[in-house]
Each structure stands twice: as C-alpha cells, then as structure tokens.
Amino acid sequence: MAFIVLMTLPHRGMAEPPSSYDGRLLFMTYCMICHGQDGRGNGPLARKMDVEPADLTVTVRVRSDIALKGIISGRGRQLVSGRDRHNLISDSMPEWKDILSDPEVESLIAYLKFVSTSKHPLMGNPEVGRDLYTRYCQACHGEEGEGDGVMTSLIDMDPMDHSNPLQMNKISNLEMVRSIKNGKGNYMPPWKEIISEGEIEALVSYIRLLSN
C-alpha cells in the first residue's frame, strides 16, 4: 500500500544538489585530465607531463580546507619567504582563482574529500542518478538524503539517512544495489521492474555523494 501511495505522488522539482555533486562536475572538467578519474594522478595527460600529478586521495587527507583553497585558487602563501605562490609542492598546477569562484572551490574540495575518504567508488553516473533520486527516492529519504521526506509525515517509517558518511561507509555498493533492486524492510519497495541495472548503479553513485 505504501508503494502505491509513493508512486502516485506528484513529481517535485529537483532539489539543490550536494556540494560534492557540483564538485565532481568541476573535477571532471578541470582536474581529471591530469589527476585521473579516481584522483590518484593517473589522468590521460599525466604521462606527457614533466611533473607527476599529485595523488589527491593522499593530499586532501593531510591538508586543511584553508590550505586546499590556497593550492587550488593560487592564493597560497609560501611559509619560508612569505611571498604568494600557487602550490607549496609544485608550480606546475594552474591557478584557478580567475576561473573558479570561492563556492566552486569549496564544492570541489567537498568532492575531493569524498574521493579521499569514501571506501566505495562511484559505480555509475551521478548526473543520471540525481534525476532518479528526485523522482523515486526523495519522497521518503528527503531532498538531502536525511531520511525526512514528505512520506515520513504520512507513514510511520524511518528511512535511512543517506547524508551520514559513517553509516554509509559501512554499506557496500553491492548491498545498496541489492536493496534498491529487491526492496528492504516493510516500506522500501523493489525497483527492479522500474529502473534498469545501469540506472540503479547511477542512483547508488548519487546517493554516495549525499554523504559529503
């Protein structure tokens, strides 16, 4: 019965995406060519460079947000001489201060934090997953994945909080795919007859980004 009610709800507009979602789009546009899709410095241009691109999965973990903003924007300050310098490691990385706004840099850092801390890779295209989430998941799990969707005021249920990174890191991609395909508990319906395998993988990827 809960499934029927869910499917008859009117389609709502798309919510604002999480910062890490926007950050991924920026990363794929500006950073992936050198740092690679996984951020480990193995991008398609890396072999042509004199300097090896940084492994961002390591770099991000050992630097503060302030330091990362300085490195990305080019507003970093070298501690030894006190002069402005783009990157404390190498001058080879472009300065992005005239291309990326401060909010965009912050979104990029949010995505880099996901890349450096998540135990699970993105298995599909989160751009596809965002539309699927808004259409099929938002009513229960909420616009930002916090488990506070409109259906929770109609039915006594407690949807999973997708915005909690500690909780989400405990769940493998395979487990998430299985839950979406086959349903789970009393109120999570099976979606295998409604969305394809590839769409489910895209949905899992978008859900991953909600936790950052």
pLDDT in tens, 142-200: 999 999 999 999 999 999 999 998 899 999 999 999 999 999 988 999 999 999 999 99
Q: Is the pLDDT of residue 141 over 60?
A: yes
* pLDDT confidence bin for 202, thresholds 50/70/90: very high
| Structural domains for the chain | 19-117 (1.10.760.10), 123-210 (1.10.760.10)
- Rounded to a whole number of angstroms, the distance between the first and last alpha carbons of the chain is 33
pLDDT score recorded for residue 77: 55
Q: What is the C-alpha to C-alpha distance for residues 189 and 210, in angstroms, rounded to an integer?
A: 21
What is the pLDDT confidence band of residue 91, given thresholds at 50, 70 and 90? low
Averaged confidence pLDDT in the chain: 86
- Residue 116 in 3-state DSSP? helix
pLDDT at 45 over 60: yes
Cα 24 from Cα 145, distance rounded (Å): 18
Dump pLDDT digits (tens) for 1-25.
Answer: 344 344 434 445 566 777 999 999 9
Spatial separation of the C-alpha atoms in residues 92 and 115, rounded to whole Å: 22
Nearest to 105 by CA among 141, 145, 76: 76
> 84: which DSSP letter?
B
Q: Is the pLDDT of residue 89 over 60?
A: no
- Buried b / exposed e over 155-186, threshold 16 CB at 10 Å, is eeeebbbbbebeebeebebeebbebbeeeeee
